[in-house]
Amino acid sequence: MLVAATGAVRLPEEPEGLTGPGWMEKMFTFYNLEGASALACALAPLSSPSSPTGTSPSAASARTSSSHTSRPSTARSRTPIASKTLGDLLEEKGVALVKEFNTGEVDGPGGRLISYDEREVTFDLLVTVPVHGGAECVTRSPGLGDELNSVPTNMATLQSEVKPTIFVLGDAANIPTSKAGSVTHFEGELCAENVERFLAGEAFDESYDGHANYFVETGFKKALLIDFDYETEPLPGRLPNAMGPMPLLEESRLNHLGKPMFQWFYWNALLEGREIPGISAEMSMSGRYRPE
């Protein structure tokens, strides 16, 4: 019996040219200390009060094609409420959005992103989230992983589709969930249950619903909190129930403060496998509503 929880690794070499000329000079990722530090230096002039109006470099963000996409990033038709809320927020902040742009090539010297369908977006400063794939150790087990070294996994039971004695947790799995710590936390309860059932020769619990929630920083000491699963898009309301206190799909100072508070709470109280008070592994509609 094996539980694979090997996580994910960054594959910045996937889009041709991303790690070429200009890498860590005008093209950055913040997923490691080197990249975050270099990006901080590049962004420093933007916050300088002496910078003349109109001279700040423009920034473009690229999402490269990956089998792991979170629900808020899926088609607008599947997430109309969340898409409108986030779209209005971007418009209010003057952020342009280029949809369905899968980067195939990066021209650092020319400041261009080129998609697989040959569209182009220009940039002065590029902040990118690279393609993610499974850990290198997956490649040492022939047939275990897919083309990105992620393990094909049953999205309801978390059993590997490659071998019945393997169960998969977190970013190691190829299921369509968000790359958030909450996902692995919620998966853990059902995965443990199904390992016990497998060893006892019993039918699996097929109730995992892809539940995820996380904070989205929006600037000026405010943040959004979103909560969703495979079938239910992020909705407005309150978490953990109608009494609150955390507002959902709404900018608030409380959500901004909630992120570091929860980080402390997780590492000091939940890490041993305890449940999050008031929040179950299965998503609840309590406190949520669908606006007209």
Map out the domains of the chain with their CATH numbers.
Answer: 9-43+58-132 (3.50.50.60)
CA pair distance 248, 190, nearest whole angstrom: 25
Predicted pLDDT of residue 67: 30
Closest CA to 71 of 221, 229, 223: 229
Return the H-helix or E-strand segment holding 37: helix 33-43
Q: Please state whether 235 falls in left (phi above 0), alpha (psi between -120 and 50) or beta.
A: beta
Long-range contacts of residues 120-125, Cβ cutoff 8 Å, at least 24 apart: 121/60, 121/62, 122/60, 123/26, 123/58, 123/59, 123/60, 124/26, 124/57, 124/58, 124/59, 125/26, 125/28, 125/42, 125/43, 125/57, 125/58, 125/59, 125/60
Predicted pLDDT of residue 48: 53
CB distance 169 to 4 below 8 Å: yes
Predicted pLDDT of residue 86: 92
CA pair distance 146, 160, nearest whole angstrom: 12
Residues in the chain with pLDDT < 50? Answer: 50-65, 67-75
Supply the DSSP symbol for 268: I
pTM: 0.81
Residue with tokens 């003349």: 52
Predicted pLDDT of residue 47: 66
